[in-house]
Structure 1
């Protein structure tokens, strides 16, 4: 691990760098991204702005570092679908666990995901690339699942597995991003999970689940 000027950071330097990232992550949970300043992050970490600039060019650079870590962790989403059965009761369990895992991932990483979405919406290719990497983790596995069910004649042959998977992931992302606002459109939080699981199951298998 190197500093901005190319020097290798020692153990103490690495610990300071990580503390700065941890403090930034905490601040993003309670403050708008644009309002977070280097001096505030440094103060919260118990160090100086000069130290911050040893490891990051600016706040955006540090945010991108957090986002890259998030993208690496998103591989866990693949395991929610890959190799799982969509037959009978097992299929319903798969749909439920996918929804639970996806929603929990979003809750756990809400602060940085909001910044990634903002950057991507503004056309920043760096954030767009990270967002795509996060969603691809589950999108590709879902598309494979639809294709497998389709190969057994249980899904219309004209259906595009990639289109179905992309639509389901977009739906999960939209709901996961607005979990707290569920009540604004008349839905209770505890109603979201079964509703999403039903839609996912229908999308993948073309059938109602066996419960």
Structure 2
């Protein structure tokens, strides 16, 4: 968390207040891992953080506001995903390594933020524009650099793709997110975790370059 932190009534929070606010967010994040966010109550978050509902209300007007703050934190961290694509080579064995590292990075990101990403997806699916915008920003961290990578491959003489680079990039990012979120379900259908990563790497490489990766 960076920048000035204020309370609900506009006062600037000191170091201790900032620590309390962050503890409330951390406790909420843990609770979302096991409970639907609409079932989480202020008193439960406050109790888990070892403080009172009155303290919670100093920093957030309700649980939803705290959930949205967690979502914004996730957006800020998602910006680093672009580094998995920007400036990376997609040629030869280096291209295969780029696809592998991208898949590893996305899977790790989803594991770390699984609970809040599920909340974001639920809110977006229900048409809540706030969550739609947040989901778009998370996806955008990868869609833009992947689009540029696919366009660069076109400039290297790659055959014209069956879809636009932006459409391919958007589809790849959506696929990565869906598989990351549903890996346990896919494993129950016979797709082992050890098999999912190579499959995703293959599809990403094919989508960006139009070619199978060189191993």
Relative to the length of structure 1, the TM-score reads 0.97
Matched, 1:128 2:93: no
- Measured in 2, the distance between the counterparts of 1:117 and 1:131 equals 7
Q: Is the 8 A contact 1:149 1:155 kept in 2?
A: no
Q: Which of the numbers 136, 151, 158 marks the counterpart of 1:154?
A: 158
**Structure 1 partner of 2:25:** 21
Q: Which moved more, 1:86-95 or 1:175-184?
A: 175-184
**Structure 2 partner of 1:100:** 104
**Structure 1 partner of 2:84:** 80
Q: Is the 8 A contact 2:33 2:115 kept in 1?
A: yes
**Structure 2 partner of 1:42:** 46
Q: How far off its partner does 1:151 sit?
A: 1.0
Aligned-residue CA RMSD (Å)? 1.0
Q: How far off its partner does 1:8 sit?
A: 1.4
Query: Where in structure 1 are there 5+ consecutive unaligned residues?
Result: none
Q: Is the 8 A contact 1:78 1:137 kept in 2?
A: yes
**Structure 2 partner of 1:70:** 74
- 1:55–1:180: structure 2 CA closer, same or farther, 3 Å change rule? same
Alignment of 1:195-210 (within 5 A): 195-210=199-214
Matched, 1:112 2:137: no
Displaced runs of 4+ in structure 1, greater than 3 A?
none
**Structure 2 partner of 1:30:** 34
Q: How far off its partner does 1:157 sit?
A: 5.8
**Structure 1 partner of 2:185:** 181
Match of 1:8, SS? Answer: coil
Q: How far off its partner does 1:55 sit?
A: 0.4
Q: Is the 8 A contact 1:201 1:207 kept in 2?
A: yes
Query: Where in structure 2 are there 5+ consecutive unaligned residues?
Result: none
Match of 2:212, SS? Answer: coil
| Number of equivalenced pairs | 211
- Measured in 1, the distance between the counterparts of 2:205 and 2:185 equals 24
- 1:185–1:157: structure 2 CA closer, same or farther, 3 Å change rule? closer
Q: Is the 8 A contact 1:155 1:205 kept in 2?
A: no
Q: Is the 8 A contact 2:161 2:210 kept in 1?
A: no
Relative to the length of structure 2, the TM-score reads 0.95
Matched, 1:53 2:52: no
Q: How far off its partner does 1:81 sit?
A: 0.4
Q: Is the 8 A contact 2:106 2:176 kept in 1?
A: yes
- Measured in 2, the distance between the counterparts of 1:155 and 1:74 equals 32
